[in-house]
Structure 1
Amino acid sequence: MHRSPVIWFFSLAFVLSWAAWTPYVLSENGLGVWQFAFPTTGGSTQLFGVLPGAYLGPIVSALLVTGVTEGRAGLRAWRGRMTKFRVNWRWYAVVLLSVPAALIIASSALGDRGPAMPPAVVLAAFLPGLLLQMVTTGLAEEPGWREFAMPRLQHRYGPLAATVVVGPLWGVWHLPLFLTEWGGYPDVNGLHVLKFVVTAIAFSFVMTWVFNRSGGSMPLVMLLHCGINNYFSVLSLDMFPWLSKEATSNAFLLSAVTAALVLLVATRGRLGCPPASGDGALDAPVDVRMS
C-alpha cells in the first residue's frame, strides 16, 4: 500500500462499492433475482440502494489508504483540504450559475425551443437540494476521485494524463448501477453506458480545471459535481418536460464535451495546473483569484 497507494485506492473503491451494490442489483429494483425491494424515499431508492455503496467506496478507501500510508498527519492534512472554503466568492458564483446555464443552453439546442418557467416551489427547492447533494453524492465521491487520486496522479504524470485515468475509472465505477432502476434497467443498452462513460471523461476535464484553478478547494469541486445532479433532480423535468430521458443525458454529454474542448484549447492542456520543473506536477499553490 505504501508503494502503490493510488492502485490500492482504486481497487478498494471498486471492490467496496460493487460489493455493497450487489444486493441492490439482485433485488427487485434491479435484476429481480431476490424477492426484495429497497424502500423508497422521496420517490427514489437511491438513499438505501445507491448511497451505501457510494460511501463505502471512494471516501472510505481514501481515508483508509491515507491513514495507513500517512498516519494522523495525513488525515489532518486531508481534513484541511476538505474544508478549504476560503476561495474567492466569484468562483462560487461561476460554479453555481455556469452549470445550470450550460445544461439549459444544451437542452434548448437539442429541443429546438427554450425552457419553460419552473414553478416557484421548484425554484425554492434548488438550493436546499444542492446542499443535500453536497452531503450525499459530493461527500461520498469527490474525497476519493478528486481529493485523493487526482493530485497524486497529476503530480507524477501531469494534469492531462491524470484526468484521462481518473475520468474513465470514475465512469466505469458506476457500471453495476446500470443493472438497476438508477441506470434505467431494463431499458438500457451498451450505447447508454458508453455515453455515460464518455460524459464522465469529458466532465472530468472541467473538474480538473476547477480543482487546479481554485487551489484544490474540495468544497468547490463538490459543488460543481453536485450542481449537475441537482439540476437533473430538481430543474430539468419542469424546464424541459418535452425532452426524453435520452435527450436530457445527451444535453449533459454535449455541454461536457464542449466545455472540455474549450478548456483544453484555452489552457493548452494545462487545465489550470501551474508550470512545473519536471513532469507537469502541481508544485506550487494555485492562485485562487479570478483571472
Structure 2
Amino acid sequence: MTNTTDVRPGDRTAAGTTAPRATGIRGVVSRHPLASFATLALGLSWLAWVPYVLSPHGLGVWDLHFPEFLGTAQFTGILPGALLGPLGGAFIVTALADGRPGLRRWVGRLWRWRVSWYWYALALVGVPALVVVTGLPFSGGQVQAPSTLALLALVPGLVVQLFTTGLSEEPGWRDFALPRLQERFGPLGAAAVLGPLWALWHMPLYLSDWGGWPEAHWSEPLVFALFTITFNVVMTWVFNRTGESLPIALLLHVGVNNTISTLWADMYPGMTAGTMMHGLAIVSTVAAAVLLLATRGRLGYDRRPGGTDRLPAPASARLVGSDDGTR
C-alpha cells in the first residue's frame, strides 16, 4: 500500500495525486530493495568469481591463468567480481528504486569527510595499532621491527586498498544497506543482518588462494566470519557516530586490510594467517561487546521521530563528533 501521508513536494505528479506505482522489475526492486541488493551483491560477485575459483588459483579444475599485478592475480581475478557485487548491486537498486534523487543521496555520503580529527586518528592509527598488538600473544616471541620497505609501503598500500577493497565494498554494505536496515530493524537488527551477509559474501574466496586454499584449516572461514560479524558492529557504531561518513568507513575498513598486508608478515614471520585471524576475532568480539554495552545497543543511532534525518546537523555544516556525547 502506498503511504501518502508524508509525501514530499515534488513526489506528487499533480495536486491531490501520487506517482503511479512502479511495475515489472522496477516495481519488484522498489518494494524489496534490501532483498534485491543482497541478491545482486552475492550473485554478481559469486558468478564473476567462478572462473578464478576453478582456475589454478583455486580448485584447479581448468587451466585458466589470470595475469598478475603487484605480485598477485587477485586484482584481475577477484576485484572485478567485488566491484560488480556490493558496488554494482547498490547502484542498480538505488537507480531503479529511488532514481536520481536516491543516487545523489547515495553518492553524497562519499563526501562527508568533515568529521572531527580523532575519527581519522582512530581509523588511520588507533585501529591499525590495535591490529598489530593483537599478534603479540600469538607470536611465540617471534616479533621483529617492521622493515623500512614495509613502512614505506603503508601509504601507497592504503591508497590501493581505498580504490579496490574500499570502493568495491563500502558503498554497498555501509552506504546503501546499513541506513536502510537501521531504518527498518534498528541498529541491533541491522548489525544482525549485515554482519552475516558481509561474511557470507566472502565465503567462496576460501576456495582460492585468497583464503589459503588448499592449506587453510576448515575452521578458518568460521573464525573469519566471527571477525566480520563483530567488526561490523564496530563499523556500524563509527558510521553512525560520524554522521554516516563513508570516508571514515572506508578508512576504517581498509586500514585493517592494509596493516595486515604491509606490516603483519614483516613483524610476525612465524605466524600463520589462521593464527592471525584468531587474534583479530578475539579483539573484535571484545570491542563489539563493549560498544553494545556502552551504548545500550543503540550503537550511535539517533532516529528522530517523524523524520528520516538521524543527524544532529548536516555534516557539511559542522564537524561531526565534536560534542555529540556518547550514544
TM-score in terms of structure 2 length: 0.84
Give the aligned residue type for 2:155.
L
Alignment partner, residue 54 of structure 1: 82
Q: Tell me how far apart the structure 2 counterparts of residues 265 and 26 of structure 1 sit (CA, whole Å).
A: 44
Aligned with 1:74 (options 94, 102, 125): 102
1:1-291 map, 5 Å: 1-113=29-141, 115-274=143-302, 276-277=304-305, 283-286=309-312, 288-290=320-322, 291=325
Q: Is the 8 A contact 2:95 2:102 kept in 1?
A: yes
RMSD, aligned CA: 1.7
Once the two structures are superposed, residues 103-137 of structure 1 have per-residue CA deviations (whole angstroms, 9 ceiling, x without a partner) of: 12211122254842111221121111111101000
Q: Tell me how far apart the structure 1 counterparts of residues 288 and 140 of structure 2 sit (CA, whole Å).
A: 23
Q: Tell me how far apart the structure 2 counterparts of residues 262 and 97 of structure 1 sit (CA, whole Å).
A: 20
Q: Tell me how far apart the structure 2 counterparts of residues 160 and 149 of structure 1 sit (CA, whole Å).
A: 14
- How many positions carry a matched residue from both structures? 289
Once the two structures are superposed, residues 257-287 of structure 1 have per-residue CA deviations (whole angstroms, 9 ceiling, x without a partner) of: 1211111111111111126549xx9742057
Offset of 1:289 from its aligned partner?
A: 2.0
Once the two structures are superposed, residues 160-213 of structure 1 have per-residue CA deviations (whole angstroms, 9 ceiling, x without a partner) of: 110110000100111111111111111234311111111110000000001000
Relative to structure 1, the CA distance from residue 286 to residue 141 in structure 2 (aligned partners, 3 Å threshold; closer, same or farther) is farther
Once the two structures are superposed, residues 25-52 of structure 1 have per-residue CA deviations (whole angstroms, 9 ceiling, x without a partner) of: 1111111111112122222111001101
Once the two structures are superposed, residues 29-85 of structure 1 have per-residue CA deviations (whole angstroms, 9 ceiling, x without a partner) of: 111111112122222111001101000000011011101111111111212111211
Q: Is the 8 A contact 2:301 2:310 kept in 1?
A: no
Give the aligned residue type for 1:289.
G
Q: Is the 8 A contact 1:104 1:115 kept in 2?
A: no
Give the aligned residue type for 1:246.
G
TM-score in terms of structure 1 length: 0.95
Q: Tell me how far apart the structure 2 counterparts of residues 46 and 118 of structure 1 sit (CA, whole Å).
A: 25
Give the aligned residue type for 1:78.
W
Q: Tell me how far apart the structure 1 counterparts of residues 224 and 298 of structure 2 sit (CA, whole Å).
A: 25
Q: Tell me how far apart the structure 1 counterparts of residues 65 and 223 of structure 2 sit (CA, whole Å).
A: 28
Secondary structure of the residue aligned to 1:173 is: helix
Q: Tell me how far apart the structure 2 counterparts of residues 286 and 276 of structure 1 sit (CA, whole Å).
A: 9
Give the aligned residue type for 1:143.
P
Q: Tell me how far apart the structure 1 counterparts of residues 177 and 218 of structure 2 sit (CA, whole Å).
A: 27
Relative to structure 1, the CA distance from residue 214 to residue 195 in structure 2 (aligned partners, 3 Å threshold; closer, same or farther) is same
Once the two structures are superposed, residues 125-157 of structure 1 have per-residue CA deviations (whole angstroms, 9 ceiling, x without a partner) of: 111111110100000001001111110010111
Give the aligned residue type for 1:97.
V
Once the two structures are superposed, residues 199-246 of structure 1 have per-residue CA deviations (whole angstroms, 9 ceiling, x without a partner) of: 110000000001000000001001100011101110101111122222
Name structure 1 gaps, 5 residues minimum: none
Q: Is the 8 A contact 2:199 2:229 kept in 1?
A: yes
Identical-residue share of aligned pairs (%): 47
